Amino acid sequence: MYITVLGSAAGGGYPQWNCNHPNSRRARAKDVAAPMRTQSSLAVSCDGERWTLFNASPDLRQQINDNPILHPHGGLRASPLKAVVLTNADVDHVTGLLSLRESQAFNVYATARVQLVLAQNSIFNVLNPQYVARISMSLEQSLAVSTADGAALGFEVVPFAVPGKVALWLEDASKGDNFGSVAEDTIALEVRESGRIKFFYIPACARMTPALAARIQGAPLVFFDGTLYTDDEMVRDGVGHKTGQRMGHMSVSGAEGTVAALSHLQISRKIFIHINTTNPILIAGTPERQAVESSGWEVSFDGMRLEV
């Protein structure tokens, strides 16, 4: 399978529009150690010709322009993009659908809960239902991803729940500490080809559980939530009032963090994705970047290409 990282940043991208954190200033100043990043999304393909998006970021139009694999060919109106798989209804994961106008055939896969949210927001009707099928995925059920005309794209996804929280814009403060979140609100994807696990895509995860650790043990490749380096860095740096835990993200560092939690698992490649503007691993040469790299992790970047 071929994988291209279309975007490696968390919601808002790097730099975020209203963020004047030193990290963001370095990106705007075109510092080569701090390249700009669009919002997190993968393009996945078994044949290198027909591609599936994992999440549709608000930066999708720019991501398509920047990645020739997604340029149209073979017709006056055409696209190699054949399917989109959504892991939740976050603005940074669904807004790109609005850039996939109008009469191009592809499938949109999401849990029933996320499909309901899309149905309740009529703006997504810009996706012409004559061309775009919306297909519900069920947790723990393997799904063969296909083109709109039913041709198999050669791989299966198994959606599974991970600890997390409902999308910010769907939070219900009346429902207590978890804002009305249910299991389907934050899912990850196990990706299989010919029945064999190829990789995991886990762009949001609030904590490691024994079940999740057991599941990803032995995997050839894991993309994992790299939002924050430390739980309170947004508060500490004065750019926000929310901790990682409040936002549904475990941190990279610390005794309960991702590097520690995955250190005893046998995983061939471990790659951080969905990285927030405040996270020092964004920037080449920082002690934090060096720490994660010396722990066997990679930091994804826009345009990163992998084969598994």
Token pair, residue 271, equals: 């790659």
We find the least distance from the C-beta atom of residue 16 to a copy of itself, in angstroms, to be 8
Residue 236 host element (H or E): helix 233-236
- Tell me the C-alpha distance between 146 and 89, whole Å: 21
Nearer to a copy of itself by Cβ, of 133 and 260: the residue is 133
Nearer to a copy of itself by Cβ, of 118 and 222: the residue is 118
- Tell me the C-alpha distance between 15 and 108, whole Å: 28
We find the least distance from the C-beta atom of residue 121 to a copy of itself, in angstroms, to be 5
Residues with Cβ within 8 Å of 226's Cβ and at least 6 positions away in sequence, in order, are 252, 258, 272, 273, 274, 275, 279, 281, 299, 300
Binding site for a copy of itself (CB under 8 A): 11-13, 15, 17-21, 24, 28, 36, 58-62, 64-65, 68, 70-79, 81, 91, 94-95, 98-104, 117, 120-126, 168-170, 237-240
| β-strand partners of 307 | 2
We find the least distance from the C-beta atom of residue 146 to a copy of itself, in angstroms, to be 19
Phi and psi at residue 81, in whole multiples of 5°?
-85, 115
9 burial (CB, 10 Å; 0-12 / 13-18 / 19+) is: buried
We find the least distance from the C-beta atom of residue 160 to a copy of itself, in angstroms, to be 25
Nearer to a copy of itself by Cβ, of 113 and 269: the residue is 113
We find the least distance from the C-beta atom of residue 74 to a copy of itself, in angstroms, to be 8
Nearer to a copy of itself by Cβ, of 2 and 124: the residue is 124
Nearer to a copy of itself by Cβ, of 190 and 302: the residue is 302
